[in-house]
Amino acid sequence: MQSLKFSELKNKSETNKIILFGAGDIGELVKYSLNQISVNEDYYCDNDLRKHNTKYLGTKVLSPKDLDTLDKEKTIIFISNNYISVIRDQLKKLGFKQIFDCVEILKNTDFFKAKQSFALQPYKIDRRIDYYISMCMKEKYISSGTLNIKSIDIQITEKCSMKCKNCSNLMQYYNKPVNSDMDELFLSIDRFMSCVDNIYEFRVLGGDPFMNKDLYKVVDQLKKYEKVKKIIVYTNARIIPKRANLDCLKHKKVVLDITNYGEGLSTKHDEIIKILKENEILYSTTPTTVWTDSGRILPYQEETLDEKKSKFINCCNSDIISILHGKLYRCPFSANATNLKAVPFEKKDIVDLCDKDISIPELKVKIKDLAYNKDFLIACSYCNGRDYTVQNIKAAEQTSKPLPYKVY
């Protein structure tokens, strides 16, 4: 994927239409960057049907079909969306040649000096840009022989302080949830870290990780690795962390990410924020009222090979590998569905990080194959998918007891 030099933008904009493909948070940041050098986008474009023929930040949103009416020789398209390779290939099929990522644009803008506010909180802007850049670099990483991971979940507990009936990590199906075994967990981390070259974001979650009194041991271990750029701990703001679990958050690369479901559910939100400020702990808090309908274990779905591949490649979780009980999975749904025995066991979709009969060089090959070379998973046939076509539902609706499911 190529970038357009920031210095060339102004001149090119005078003779070309400017399209931002992705009417979302990156699209907002790119619009701001362009406007700072007096370059205005002509249109947004998006694959989300719900956005077509609407306006985003005052600019009309086109459908991909609408792009076909433009002069392909005099149109510059910046991909302001995570699905870099998918959209690039889509645009090439339409005949466009001036297709660029937004890396140079974003790198040359100081968003923290901006006089306007953005949809993203200040801390999340930096994190979101880094994440986007890692997506742009993915193909380079794959071809280089190095193993660079942009995001990995480590689930340290099946326990949660809530019982959301549509939890995308499937906590609502656990009848007797347990915490991860610490010896197994540390062995899996150590062997995984022996294989990878860099990790942008290590995400510690559950359930709610504060349900595990040993959370601090995990975070303190991850802080020791220079390969790990950021450590994100997730919570739903129902538990005041114990002192050890609070102290472990006092580090420049650790952030507490709070999902705020409102007063009736995130009952300790304001109290936690006060404690975090008093202890100078980095955090973000996101009011959340809707989810995508992606937290149900479905009966097996008959799909063509192309349908399976499309569901997988368009899933926003297909690039978030997950560690659960010593094993590595390609996504959190696959991890928990397999752990629950809610889908048939598929050895090719799992890497056993704790199997000492697998050498570190062999393990690296297996991890790379799982992270880079999958077209779809067995679990995809039991999942509703998680992309722009999946409808939104009310977030965090509670169930009084674990939900039933078929065991394989």
Per-residue pLDDT, 1 = 66
Are the C-beta atoms of residues 342 and 405 closer than 8 Å to each other? yes
Residues 382 and 270 in one domain: yes
Long-range contacts of 174-178, Cβ-Cβ distance < 8 Å, separation of 24 or more: 174/340, 174/402, 175/402, 177/207
Residues 229 and 279 in one domain: yes
Strand order of the sheet with strand 99-100? 55-56, 59-62, 43-45, 17-21, 75-79, 99-100
Last residue of a domain, one of 61, 95, 125: 125
Q: Which domain holds residue 78?
A: 6-125
Residues 29 and 169 in one domain: no
Residues 97 and 157 in one domain: no
Q: What is the pLDDT of residues 292-327, one digit of tens each?
A: 999 999 999 999 999 999 899 888 888 889 999 999
Under-50 pLDDT residues of the chain: none
Residue 172 counted as domain residue: yes
Residues 107 and 208 in one domain: no
Q: Which two tokens stand for residue 387?
A: 């992309």
Residues 170 and 290 in one domain: yes
Q: Residue 200: give its domain's CATH number.
A: 3.20.20.70
Per-residue pLDDT, 171 = 98
Residue 13 counted as domain residue: yes
Residues 242 and 191 in one domain: yes
Residue 169 counted as domain residue: yes
Alpha carbon 228 to its chain centroid, in Å, reads: 16
Residues 327 and 384 in one domain: yes
Q: How many domains does the chain have?
A: 2
Residues 292 and 246 in one domain: yes
Q: What is the pLDDT of residues 118-133, one digit of tens each?
A: 988 887 898 899 889 8
Backbone phi and psi for residue 340, each to the nearest 5 degrees, phi listed first = -80, -10
Residues 234 and 347 in one domain: yes
